[in-house]
Amino acid sequence: MSTPVPRPYVPEQITIHLGPPDSSAQNVTVSFPDYIKNVASSEIYPTWDRSAVLANIYAQISFALNRVYLEYYPSRGYGFNITNSTAYDQSFHYGRNIFQNISELVDEVFNNYIRRQGVLEPLSARYCNGTTVTCNGLSQWGSQSLATQGYDAISILRNYYGNDIELVVNAPVSNIRQSYPGYPISRGSTGPAVTVIQASLNRVSQNYPAIPKVNPVDGVFGPQTEEAVRAFQRIFNLAVDGIVGKATWYKLVMLYVAFARLSELESEGQRIFGIPLEISGGVSGIPTAPAQTAGPRAVPVFAQARRNPEASLPPPLGPGDSGQEVRIVQFFLAMIGEFYSSVPPLDITGVYDEQTVRAVTAVQRSSGLPLTGEVDQATWDQIYNMYQGIILTVFTRSYSDFMQTVPFPGMVLKQGSRGPEVRTLQQYLNNISILYHTIPPVQVTGIYGPATAESVRRYQVQFQLPPTGQVDEATWNSIANTYRNVISSEATLPRQNPGFVLKSGMQDKM
């Protein structure tokens, strides 16, 4: 499932309403770390064990970010991000004193938060004091009791939220992002915002069957999407124009969040869609401080590795396995199957069944890997590279960007070449491979290795060029032209010329 605000980040500031949502109380805006310091100083005791304090801070950060990411209050027409009413959110006393040890700890970890594996939004990490009030979430006094028994912060969190949590650490800080793109979206629009609309309409339609399903969710605003938008607008008393302006957009956001229960501890979760995952080379276990990672990007660190704690996600998977790791593999395979006719469709069940075996075997066959039907490291790398190639070349760039091609770099590219020209070549080949299945996709590395040479050679055979496996000016220009033709065919409306010559034996990819 797509998400309005998919990329991990922590807001520079957050606006708090000093009362229940509908009250006429004041709004105040403070830095996000100062907000968490205030909440932690209001909710817990500074004399508690460090692991208990840290576990509670992680929960408070995650709960607040869940409100921010989902635009929980702005989508309902409010001009703030969160309230200080404990009946709705968490305690905040504007102007209060902050405990020194809590302040120092928040400064260390304010850009770390909890989420479930394979899910985009921060966990709605609900909690209560555990004495006068109990809830389905973390017990504050219970966390201190566990800390005195030797539990570290992560063990405490797992005790209350389950073993499938992970910690995103070192999330970048930025201004609060609004999901609405800033302009109306209508017939003919394309891109990620359209994908969000289509996926949200499909989820809302589960509760309102009068809204027709959009199939496929392809990021192209065609007649089917317009019909679904009009039905949505009629049901929810919006202007019925088939255009997604700000009012329609945020009504969709609000209802999607509500129906998928994304603001609840147990939710459907916004599943990974259209976003390259940072899932290789992660550290097994969740660190208690951000020192284990570095760099400007947020890094999801997985809570557990079921088989091999040193392996990147997923560990070897096969028939009989189940869980989130299988669900992620199935999601990628389902996406690949939309573009590669050789990969059969499958349902995303989280159970490694016969459908999954057939799809995995199809990928292995097309990639020259052993036909085991199991996902080992080599198979996983191929599945992920194929998925990433689709995302990078279909969903994440505008049409005008697609149509621009780079001139021949003035030198023959061959094994051992490296640089931006090789990266561009690899991206072109991956896009072409979506339509021409004899041309294998390659990993976009900027390094011209054997896999790139083989993909070039297959291209040359397909288009009747000398099969040298090297890219001279004739091959480069041919690849660039074919790339433009393929992209043109992806963006055509019904009855348009597809952008390339139709020949006997060709077939649609769907």
Per-residue pLDDT at 397 exceeds 50: no
- Owner of token pair 């400007």: 296
Calpha distance 238→436 (Å, rounded): 44
Q: Alpha carbon of 236 to those of 184, 224, 240, 472: distances in Å?
A: 18, 19, 10, 58
> Are 118 and 128 a contacting pair, CB within 8 Å?
no
Q: What is the pLDDT confidence band of residue 487, given thresholds at 50, 70 and 90?
A: low
Q: What is the pLDDT confidence band of residue 120, given thresholds at 50, 70 and 90?
A: confident
147 compared with 176, residue with greater pLDDT: 147
**What pLDDT score was predicted for residue 413?**
95
Q: What is the pLDDT confidence band of residue 393, given thresholds at 50, 70 and 90?
A: low
Token pair for 418: 């490296």
Which of 118-132, 264-278, 451-465 has the least mean pLDDT? Answer: 264-278
Q: Alpha carbon of 280 to those of 183, 264, 306, 417: distances in Å?
A: 36, 29, 15, 25
The neighbour count for residue 280, using CB atoms within 10 Å, is 12
Per-residue pLDDT at 79 exceeds 90: yes
Q: What is the pLDDT confidence band of residue 325, given thresholds at 50, 70 and 90?
A: confident
Q: What is the pLDDT confidence band of residue 392, given thresholds at 50, 70 and 90?
A: low
**What pLDDT score was predicted for residue 134?**
77
Per-residue pLDDT at 221 exceeds 60: yes
Per-residue pLDDT at 290 exceeds 80: no
Per-residue pLDDT at 209 exceeds 80: yes
High-pLDDT (> 70) share of the chain, %: 80
The neighbour count for residue 447, using CB atoms within 10 Å, is 16
Does this model's pTM top 0.75? Answer: no
**What pLDDT score was predicted for residue 396?**
44
Q: What is the pLDDT confidence band of residue 287, given thresholds at 50, 70 and 90?
A: very low
Calpha distance 43→54 (Å, rounded): 13
Per-residue pLDDT at 97 exceeds 90: yes
> Are 313 and 325 a contacting pair, CB within 8 Å?
yes
**What pLDDT score was predicted for residue 444?**
77
Residue range 115-134: average pLDDT? 84
Per-residue pLDDT of 18-70, as tens digits, reads 999 999 999 999 999 999 999 999 999 999 999 999 999 999 999 999 999 88
The sheet carrying 299-301 orders its strands as: 113-116, 165-169, 299-301
Calpha distance 377→369 (Å, rounded): 11
**What pLDDT score was predicted for residue 498?**
41
**What pLDDT score was predicted for residue 466?**
94
**What pLDDT score was predicted for residue 502?**
58
Per-residue pLDDT at 101 exceeds 90: yes
Q: What is the pLDDT confidence band of residue 294, given thresholds at 50, 70 and 90?
A: very low
Most confident of 214-223, 327-336, 460-469: 460-469
**What pLDDT score was predicted for residue 328?**
78
**What pLDDT score was predicted for residue 395?**
47
| Pick from 244, 200, 185, 187: nearest CA to 4 | 200
Per-residue pLDDT of 134-169, as tens digits, reads 788 999 999 999 999 999 999 999 999 998 888 888
Per-residue pLDDT at 419 exceeds 90: no
**What pLDDT score was predicted for residue 504?**
62
**What pLDDT score was predicted for residue 145?**
94
- Class of residue 112 by CB neighbours under 10 A (exposed 0-12, middle 13-18, buried 19+): buried
3-state secondary structure 152-213: CHHHHHHHHHCCCEEEEECCCEECCCCCCCCCCECCCCECHHHHHHHHHHHHHHHHCCCCCC
Q: In 3-state terms, what secondary structure has residue 298?
A: coil
> Are 29 and 44 a contacting pair, CB within 8 Å?
no
Per-residue pLDDT at 103 exceeds 70: yes
DSSP string, 376-397: -HHHHHHHHHHHHHHIIIIISS
High-pLDDT (> 90) share of the chain, %: 43
**What pLDDT score was predicted for residue 353?**
93
**What pLDDT score was predicted for residue 284?**
25
Calpha distance 455→389 (Å, rounded): 14
Per-residue pLDDT at 448 exceeds 90: yes
Calpha distance 147→143 (Å, rounded): 6
Per-residue pLDDT at 180 exceeds 80: yes
Q: What is the rounded end-to-end Cα distance, in angstroms, of the chain?
A: 20
In this structure, the strands spanning 127-128 and 138-139 are: parallel
Q: What is the pLDDT confidence band of residue 261, given thresholds at 50, 70 and 90?
A: confident
Calpha distance 390→413 (Å, rounded): 24
Per-residue pLDDT at 5 exceeds 70: no
